[in-house]
A and B are shown apart, each in its own frame.
Chain A
Amino acid sequence: MNHWIVAPIVLPAILAPFIIMVLRYHLDLQRIFSVAGVVALLGIALTITAQAAGGDIQVYELGDWPAPFGIVMVLDRLSAMMVLLTALLALPIVLYAIATGWDNRGKHFHALFHFQLMGVCGAFLTGDAFNLFVFFEVLLIASYGLMTHGGGAVRLKAGVQYVAYNLLGSTLFLFALGTLYGVTGTLNMADIAVRVAELPPEDTALLRVGAVLLLLVFCIKAAVLPLHFWLPASYANAPLPVAALFAIMTKVGAYSILRMYTLAFGPEVEATQGLVGDWLQPAALLTLAVGAIGILGSQHIARMVAFCAIASMGTLLIAISLFTPEATAAALYYVFHSTLATALLFLVADLVMERRSGAITPKPPMPQGGLISALFFVGAIAMAGMPPLSGFVGKLLVLDAARDAPNANAAWAVILIGSFITIIGLARAGSLIFWKSHDVQFLSEGDPEDREVAPAPEPQPGLAFTAVFGVVAGLIALTLFAGPALEYTSKTAEQLFTPEHYISAVLGGEE
């Protein structure tokens, strides 16, 4: 058995308690170990991605129990790629949190950070539906701690909403799993797929209920309309570096939809035919529309970026809801882009809010305003999907894949108009925050109290900017190497739409 598969889960699972128990009072050591852990995770992620790129699906049986009875971890192209994305995202964020001192504004930042990584990597790697639930809980409970990191009345209040909403989501997850278990008698994803295909058509009512409940849970995670209400308040009130990390959490929902609804309830499975795509696509279109309108209507930069996250989830799910290999390849490319772009904008929003209020109104110029406005410009271009960055390539691929779809007109119209509104919204915010502050009229007429230039925050080490530029470099690399990346995602989509390989890899001998 290949032990690399379980390493992305074991490493943070050991590191996080170690940080809590041994390094509790040593912030410097915590920082060193945390960064070293993330770098090691990146190394592991690169290794398993290289292993998975060959196209073999590898299975890790925990406790050496054979597949449908024990819990399995499965490494295929999709899970390897998502783990790699998690590690790539975590590195700049942990550096940024250290550089700006965010990790010192509350306790246990680094431990919670690694528990979060453990939950996310586990959710991507597991091949068991109940185990997926457990890893969801791991990442959620760490996210509760991270979300309320630093405290403050409003943040805690938003935290209560966030926890309540997600507890309800977890309960719904259990109802869905119970229903699926009641029908199929198994929780192993590959085994569920086998049983679902064997089910007589007159017995599928309960299965359809379970499948839709499961879709609802994943849609809550992915913040699909009308289940997105938790996202703006939570992300805007969380510490913004944490919100940047949360950019991967909505993708966990999207990943789960992609995994379950290509493997077990795929488009060609008769029992659940027409159940997912037909509902998911209108919801995704609405998500994108509401996200774009939210960007235009936000009064606060953090809230605006939260709506950017919703809008990009909308675009992503439009591509996913088509359930064709081309669209899925485009969606997977877009996952990479949208995670990095959302994280970049959250980090830029934090740079802004360290220096002035986050309200989208003119304020006196801030220190290092030129550099920050340039970064915001890059992030806005990426998010809105304008050339030359990867957002343009991603949206182009999605549009191209949607061309032959049944309601291509609606998809094209919503994506294009949504992008346009996004451009206007981001341009409005950028000019009010960065340009208007240099306006002569504003400087001479504004409230004298408002005119005092805010003192530069704590010695701003270059490390914070290095971290942000790291994310920018990721976006540029994704644009430059769009060809190889697309080749990888196309092969991933091909693998996803031939679930027989996955099933025979997991259940092995029975086939």
Chain B
Amino acid sequence: MEALVATAVGVMTAAGIFLILRRRTFPVILGLSLITYAVNVFLFATGRLALNAPAVLNKYEDVPYTDPLPQALVLTAIVISFGMTAVIVMISLSAYLSSKDDHIDMTAQDCVDAPGEDA
């Protein structure tokens, strides 16, 4: 199972990085989402992997349990990354609608004369 989880994290991260290096916003956002999935699985695994074990201590008998803290961390991370993905989708959508262009890089002209003057 360790090998499976490790491969999943590795493949998702690699695919995410590949997509982030694309030039248009849509693949970049997909890549960011893939990387956040990878990090969520990774965080889950930091408490060590345990099968069929509850995340609570049982004080009546000695049964295996799994570390609850990473699960709480993953929950926080999922919520935050979900919100952030929504934000970047909205910002890139309005950037696309206002400039009719979904390239993520800025042109040299953007850097020279435009900043602020559209306000």
Residues on A close to B: CB < 8 A?
Answer: 105, 130, 134, 137, 140-141, 144, 148, 150-161, 163-164, 167-168, 170-171, 174-175, 177-179, 181-182, 187, 233, 236-237, 239-240, 299-300, 302-303, 353, 357-359
B88 touches A233 (CB 8 A): no
B104 adjacent to chain A (CB < 8 Å): yes
How far is B70's CA from A130's CA once the two chains are assembled, in angstroms?
11
Chain B residue, CB-CB nearest to A138: B80
B80: A residues at CB distance < 8 A: 134, 137, 170
B94: A residues at CB distance < 8 A: 148, 151, 156
- Contact flag A181-B115 (CB < 8 Å), given A157-B106, A171-B39: no
- Contact flag A160-B46 (CB < 8 Å), given A152-B118, A300-B113: no
A160 touches B91 (CB 8 A): yes
How far is B117's CA from A159's CA once the two chains are assembled, in angstroms?
16
Q: Which of B77, B95, B105 contacts A159 (CB 8 A)?
A: B95
A148 touches B91 (CB 8 A): yes
B119 touches A174 (CB 8 A): no
Q: List 22 A-B contacts (CB under 8 A).
A: A105-B119, A130-B73, A151-B118, A151-B119, A155-B115, A155-B119, A157-B99, A158-B115, A167-B32, A168-B32, A170-B84, A174-B42, A175-B42, A178-B46, A181-B47, A237-B115, A240-B116, A300-B111, A300-B113, A353-B117, A357-B113, A357-B117
How far is B85's CA from A154's CA once the two chains are assembled, in angstroms?
21
B52 adjacent to chain A (CB < 8 Å): no
B113 touches A178 (CB 8 A): no
Most B CB within 10 A of own CB, among A141, A168, A174: A174
Residues on B close to A: CB < 8 A?
Answer: 20, 25, 28-29, 32, 35-36, 39, 42-43, 45-47, 69-70, 73, 76-77, 80-81, 83-85, 87-88, 91-92, 94-95, 98-99, 101, 104-106, 110-119
- Contact flag A300-B112 (CB < 8 Å), given A155-B118, A160-B92, A174-B77: yes
A154: B residues at CB distance < 8 A: 99, 106, 110, 114-115, 118
B113 touches A152 (CB 8 A): no
A134: B residues at CB distance < 8 A: 76, 80
A163: B residues at CB distance < 8 A: 84, 87-88, 91
B119 touches A167 (CB 8 A): no
Q: Which of B43, B87, B91, B115 contacts A303 (CB 8 A)?
A: B115
A357: B residues at CB distance < 8 A: 113, 117
A353 touches B116 (CB 8 A): yes
Task: Return the 10 tightest CB-CB contacts between A and B, nearest first.
Answer: A152-B118, A156-B95, A153-B99, A182-B46, A154-B114, A153-B98, A178-B46, A174-B39, A237-B115, A163-B88
- Contact flag A300-B88 (CB < 8 Å), given A151-B94, A153-B98: no
Chain B residue, CB-CB nearest to A147: B91
Q: Which of B45, B70, B91 contacts A144 (CB 8 A)?
A: B91
B106: A residues at CB distance < 8 A: 154, 157-158, 161, 233
B39 touches A175 (CB 8 A): yes
A353: B residues at CB distance < 8 A: 116-117
B36: A residues at CB distance < 8 A: 167, 171
New A-B pairs, 7, CB < 8 Å, besides A164-B104, A237-B115: A137-B80, A154-B118, A163-B88, A179-B46, A299-B111, A299-B113, A357-B117
How far is B114's CA from A357's CA once the two chains are assembled, in angstroms?
9
A170: B residues at CB distance < 8 A: 80-81, 84
B116 touches A159 (CB 8 A): no
B35 touches A171 (CB 8 A): yes
- Contact flag A160-B87 (CB < 8 Å), given A137-B80, A300-B115, A357-B113: no
A105: B residues at CB distance < 8 A: 119
B110: A residues at CB distance < 8 A: 154, 157-158
How far is B99's CA from A11's CA once the two chains are assembled, in angstroms?
39
A359 touches B113 (CB 8 A): yes
How far is B77's CA from A187's CA once the two chains are assembled, in angstroms?
15
B98: A residues at CB distance < 8 A: 151-153, 156
B29: A residues at CB distance < 8 A: 164
A157 touches B95 (CB 8 A): yes
* Closest Cβ–Cβ distance, residue B25 to chain A (whole Å): 6
A156 touches B112 (CB 8 A): no
* Closest Cβ–Cβ distance, residue B113 to chain A (whole Å): 6
How far is B118's CA from A353's CA once the two chains are assembled, in angstroms?
11
A148: B residues at CB distance < 8 A: 91, 94
